[in-house]
Chains A and B, each alone.
Chain A
Amino acid sequence: MSDNPIQLLTEAASGEAERLTVLHAALVDRASAESAVDVTYRLVDSPVGSLLLAATELGVVRVAFEIEDHDRVLESLGSSVGSRILRGGDRLDPLARELDDYFTGRRQGFDVPLDLRLARGFRLTVLRHLSEIPYGSTESYGEVAVASGSPRAVRAVGSACATNPLPIVVPCHRVLRSDGSLGGYLGGLQTKERLLALEHAA
């Protein structure tokens, strides 16, 4: 006797993947309209590798490099922001366009709304100052500490940069050691070099 009916019932029907793509997109739209989503995200290609962009209703909440492991970043957003996370939607289209312009030298800053809920206290103060460092220039960790109101908190500035939830958009790559050497970077030192070179060349 044939087992074919059973086998066929569990196989993908033709056109199923396309149908699911349509249904998924409709789900994201409906869920967003009903505010039933905590986070939507998309991936974009860039000269520094694939970037994960994630946003809440308030604004962009996370930008992550591939080296940070996008799956782990999403898991961690599930715990910190909320697990109703869906891929897609149009919330991140403006940032994707601005990043494209940034990497081609046509844009020096970002205008998208930000959700800074992943940074608190002194780290948040540091991030707010970082956004004031102009395109193409740099500051030392010590200078950032002074500007953030805690001149002795140089190491804390370092860890604020290392845990910046919005790299590139909040330009922690513009912070160097006082001797001019690179210091650290959550996206890897090559990425930091590349961003600084881009900004100096433009």
Chain B
Amino acid sequence: MKRPFEQAVTEHGAVVLRVCRAVLGPIEADDAWSETFLSALRAWPDLPDDANVRAWLVTIAHRKAVDVARAGARHAVPVAAVPDTTAPRVDQPEEALPDGDLWTAVAALPEKQRLCVAYHHVAGLPHPEVARIVGGTPAAARRAAADGIARLRSTYATDGRVSTHV
């Protein structure tokens, strides 16, 4: 790719951060974002000029998210209760997102649904592209995304935020 890498960060940085949040939750999302863009920067000159940059970045983010999740599992210590991953950290008050409920609901989705919702609805990739990243057929990716959204409507909407909206 001959275009300045900065353009990729400007155009896709926010979407990749939202994808990382959807897949990993807000706290680990930052690490995944950083690893994704550092890795993308290294590989950028070798990317063909006509490549779909967003799909490429989301593919890298998917691999990094898997790494981050594995590292988290390796370092995990058994605790009595599962920590609330959406709770704001004192040193990063900006993580106290008002729509944290939605991300909690996304985090509660089964993995395949969560990934397909993240890559189709958050990243805007078509189902065949999503299937290429998560495995399986485009039809299965479409179904998982639809099931995920249906589930979000029932779990998140009944929390009271949007249930009155018709």
Seen from chain A, the residues whose Cβ lies within 8 Å of a Cβ on chain B are 1-2, 4-6, 8-10, 12-20, 23-24, 26-27, 30-31, 34, 36-37, 39, 41, 74-75, 77-79, 82-87
CA distance A113 to B157 in the complex (A): 59
Known: A2-B163, A6-B149. 17 other contacts (CB 8 A): A1-B166, A2-B162, A4-B165, A5-B157, A6-B121, A9-B18, A9-B22, A9-B106, A9-B122, A10-B121, A10-B124, A19-B94, A31-B38, A37-B41, A77-B4, A85-B5, A86-B9
Question: Which chain A residues border B54 with CB–CB below 8 Å?
Answer: none
How many pairs, one residue from A and one from B, have CB atoms within 8 Å of each other in the complex? 115
The 6 closest A-B pairs by CB, nearest first: A15-B94, A85-B4, A5-B152, A4-B162, A2-B165, A74-B4
Question: Which chain B residues border A36 with CB–CB below 8 Å?
Answer: 38, 41-42
CA distance A83 to B34 in the complex (A): 19
Interface stretch (choices B62-70, B71-79, B97-105, B132-140): B97-105
CB contact list, B1-45 vs A, under 8 A? 1-6, 9, 13-14, 17-18, 21-22, 30, 33-34, 37-38, 41-42, 44-45
Does A83 contact B45, Cβ atoms closer than 8 Å? yes
Q: Could you show 18 A-B contacts with beta carbons less than 8 Å apart?
A: A2-B162, A4-B161, A4-B165, A5-B157, A6-B149, A9-B18, A9-B121, A10-B18, A15-B94, A16-B14, A19-B94, A20-B13, A20-B17, A30-B38, A36-B42, A77-B4, A79-B2, A87-B6
Question: Which chain B residues border A20 with CB–CB below 8 Å?
Answer: 13-14, 17
Q: Shortest beta-carbon distance, B136 to chain A, in Å?
A: 21
CA distance A74 to B33 in the complex (A): 24
CB contact list, B79-122 vs A, under 8 A? 94-99, 102, 105-106, 117, 121-122
Closest B residue to A1 using CB positions: B153
CA distance A168 to B96 in the complex (A): 47
CB contact list, B118-161 vs A, under 8 A? 121-122, 124, 149, 152-153, 156-157, 161
Q: Shortest beta-carbon distance, B106 to chain A, in Å?
A: 7
Seen from chain B, the residues whose Cβ lies within 8 Å of a Cβ on chain A are 1-6, 9, 13-14, 17-18, 21-22, 30, 33-34, 37-38, 41-42, 44-45, 94-99, 102, 105-106, 117, 121-122, 124, 149, 152-153, 156-157, 161-163, 165-166
Does A23 contact B33, Cβ atoms closer than 8 Å? yes
Closest A residue to B155 using CB positions: A5
Closest B residue to A40 using CB positions: B6
Question: Which chain B residues border A5 with CB–CB below 8 Å?
Answer: 102, 105, 149, 152-153, 156-157, 162
Question: Which chain A residues border B124 with CB–CB below 8 Å?
Answer: 10
- Given A83-B2, A86-B6, also A26-B34 (CB < 8 A): yes
Does A78 contact B121, Cβ atoms closer than 8 Å? no
Partner of B99, one of A13, A31, A37, A87: A13
Does B34 contact A85, Cβ atoms closer than 8 Å? no
Question: Which chain B residues border A2 with CB–CB below 8 Å?
Answer: 153, 157, 162-163, 165-166
Question: Which chain A residues border B94 with CB–CB below 8 Å?
Answer: 15, 18-19
Does B162 contact A30, Cβ atoms closer than 8 Å? no
Does B18 contact A86, Cβ atoms closer than 8 Å? no
Does B157 contact A4, Cβ atoms closer than 8 Å? yes
